[in-house]
């Protein structure tokens, strides 16, 4: 039970690192608590609401009561399966805006500007411009991660993009290319009608090599000898044992479990560790701090025409979708149904988009519960760069205990202004000529919810997490007391230990986090191997010429 590198977590970043490190000839052991991703609930894109609500695949975490959200406890699904959260997510693929990564560099993450990360996005992507459009000079064509677009044959999907154009917004053919701002086709990690998770893209090919191995077990703590990380203590088959790392221990256990593991290993806020009787190895107050997420609400409309996915909502309809997918790999089950997207700025004076739309031709919740007994559709909408910050803390020194998660959602006044703008901008879209043939009435929030106070109350009662937690092991300069890792993922104050998942994000990125998480695994692999990073690409992304004075 020894390898050059021991990676904790077979999620988005961990799988990418296992692939690249083993490709370079290093021996790798990946430690994962979850089991197999076999079966239709994970592999069929149309069944996405199932795996994130199944104890078999999800850690089952919940937040503490959120004081600004009517003390609601919020679900925090995290993948407990090979592929991690890339095996239970909505499969939406967003790189993030160039401005996000330039902000990272300004915040002390040296070498992580957009010019630095773009080559890694290209390296990881398998994108077919002939089949999907877009500018191939901004995309990668032969990487492990297949990115595709759905058939977009539902008329509502096109209506959403046309509504954006009618409302005066930009249209973009490729939000992952030069121009994020605007409305256009959405992209997904789906390949030939199957979920293309990090397990399918990276881990399975890596495990075919003799120098890469997967071990199931619960990571308990990092083992140190003479101040250096030398392995991971795990519970496996009812026994506690140590898996040894000849070179480095690499944590890729998620923005919830990576800070938990650091604290259990004596790295974190000294007072927090002492409170649980844990010996302080490195006093790093940033461990478990800086927790960020995306919140969203669902603006739902009843449809005056029977063109929505509700036609498949019966038991018979679902059986048809499943059987067709199993037999042919096609049909409604072969897409996540998120096929149109929008990125806009909430107000003039904001340089790049801070609101995201996912359009869905069905009125339904993420947990699969229909909001309407009949035809409807919805836009998921929410701000991208909330100023609220939360924490992950230990419940006890027992590795089997769930962590204490406090997002502190909506604790900053700007969040409320951004959400009000998001709701009003969405209603404006559904009031365009493009939707006139389809809109019957507003289901949620309801036409009587108009004032700031009424919208605020709706957000408090109905906003849900988009399941994008990050930031709890922030990357920064080594002399920054709040930073946890440096620009190469090395834990400050510990030798032989790195963190390489979404917990290192200094600030949350625009859009869904699976893409940036995989990119982090790709780029960190070169740092781990001591390679010179890929050459920077100094390209200029599109920015609205009137952003200082116009909202659209």
Q: Name the DSSP class of 312.
A: G
CB 251 within 8 A of CB 10: no
Report DSSP letters for 161-227, one per residue. HHHHHHTT--B-S-TTTT--SEEEE--BSEETTEE--HIIIIIHHHHTSTTEEEEE-EEEEEEEETT
**Residue 447: other Cβ atoms inside 10 A:** 9
- Nearest residue to 350 via CA among 101, 87, 548, 190: 548
The verdict on whether residue 92 carries a ligand-binding annotation is yes
How far apart, in whole angstroms, are the C-alpha atoms of residue 85 and residue 91?
Answer: 10
To the question of whether residue 90 is assigned a binding role by annotation, the answer is: yes
97 is catalytic: no
> Is 81 known to sit in a ligand binding site?
yes
Given 294, 375, 468, 544, the catalytic residue: 468
- Spatial distance between the Cα atoms of 200 and 43, rounded to a whole number of angstroms: 10
User: Cβ contacts of residue 548 below 8 Å, gap of 6+?
Assistant: 348, 349
91 among annotated binding-site residues: yes
Biggest distance spanned by C-alpha atoms of the chain: 71
| Length of the chain, in residues | 552
Q: Closest Cα partner for 81 from 179, 185, 216?
A: 216
**Separation of alpha carbons 257 and 467, rounded Å:** 15
> CA–CA separation, 137 vs 139, rounded Å?
6
89 assigned ligand-binding residue: yes
Q: Which residue has the tokens 């910050």?
A: 389
- Give the count of beta carbons closer than 10 Å to the beta carbon of residue 151: 12
- Residues 116, 124 contacting (CB under 8 angstroms): no
Instruction: Could you list the residues known to form a binding site, using ranges.
Output: 81, 89-92
Instruction: Could you list the residues known to form a binding site for FAD, using ranges.
Output: 81, 89-92
Active-site amino acid positions: 468
């Amino acid at each position: 039970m020894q390898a050059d590198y021991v990676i904790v977590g077979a999620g988005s970043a961990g799988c990418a690192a296992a692939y690249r490190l083993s490709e370079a000839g290093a021996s790798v052991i990946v430690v994962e608590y979850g089991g197999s991703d076999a079966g239709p609930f994970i592999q069929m894109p149309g069944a996405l609401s199932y795996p994130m609500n199944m104890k078999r695949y999800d850690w089952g975490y919940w937040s503490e009561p959120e004081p600004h959200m009517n003390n609601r406890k919020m679900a925090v699904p995290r993948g407990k399966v090979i592929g991690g959260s890339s095996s239970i997510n909505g499969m939406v693929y967003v790189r993030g805006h160039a401005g996000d990564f330039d902000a990272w560099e300004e915040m002390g993450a040296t070498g992580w500007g957009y010019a630095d990360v773009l080559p890694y996005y290209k390296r990881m992507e398998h994108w077919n411009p002939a089949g999907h459009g877009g500018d191939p000079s901004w995309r990668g064509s032969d990487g492990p991660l297949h990115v595709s677009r759905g058939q977009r044959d539902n008329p509502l999907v096109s209506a959403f993009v046309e509504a954006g154009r009618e409302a005066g917004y930009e249209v973009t053919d490729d939000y992952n290319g030069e121009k994020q701002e605007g409305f256009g086709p959405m992209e997904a990690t789906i390949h030939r009608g199957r979920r293309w998770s990090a397990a399918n893209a990276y881990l399975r090919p890596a495990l075919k090599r003799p120098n890469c191995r997967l071990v199931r077990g619960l990571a308990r703590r990092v083992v140190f000898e003479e101040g250096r990380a030398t392995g991971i203590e795990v519970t496996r088959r009812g026994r506690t044992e140590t898996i040894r790392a000849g070179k480095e221990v690499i944590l890729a256990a998620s923005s919830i479990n990576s800070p938990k593991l650091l604290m259990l290993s004596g790295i974190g806020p000294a007072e927090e560790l002492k409170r649980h009787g844990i010996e302080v190895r490195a006093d790093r107050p940033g461990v478990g701090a800086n927790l960020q997420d995306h919140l969203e609400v669902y603006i739902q409309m009843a449809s005056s025409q029977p063109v929505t996915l509700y036609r498949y909502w019966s038991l018979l309809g679902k059986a048809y979708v499943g059987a067709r997918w199993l037999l042919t790999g096609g049909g409604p089950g072969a897409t996540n149904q998120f096929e149109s997207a929008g990125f806009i700025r909430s107000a003039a004076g904001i340089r790049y988009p801070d609101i995201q739309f996912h359009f869905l031709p069905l009125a339904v919740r993420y947990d699969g519960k229909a909001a309407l007994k009949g035809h409807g559709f919805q836009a998921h909408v929410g701000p991208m760069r909330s100023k609220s910050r939360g924490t992950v803390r230990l419940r006890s020194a027992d590795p089997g205990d769930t962590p204490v998660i406090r997002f502190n959602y909506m604790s900053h006044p700007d969040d409320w202004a951004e959400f009000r703008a998001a709701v009003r901008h969405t209603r404006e879209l559904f009031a365009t000529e493009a939707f006139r043939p389809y809109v019957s009435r507003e289901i949620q929030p309801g036409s009587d919810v108009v004032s700031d106070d009424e919208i605020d109350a709706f957000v408090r009662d109905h906003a849900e997490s988009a399941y994008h937690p990050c930031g709890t092991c922030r990357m920064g300069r080594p002399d920054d007391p709040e930073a946890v890792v440096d620009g190469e993922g090395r834990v400050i104050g510990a030798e032989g230990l790195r963190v390489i998942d979404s917990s290192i994000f200094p600030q949350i990125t625009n859009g869904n986090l699976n893409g940036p998480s995989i990119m982090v695994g790709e780029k960190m692999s070169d740092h781990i191997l001591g390679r010179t990073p890929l050459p920077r690409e100094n390209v200029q992304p599109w920015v609205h010429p009137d952003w200082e004075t116009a909202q659209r």
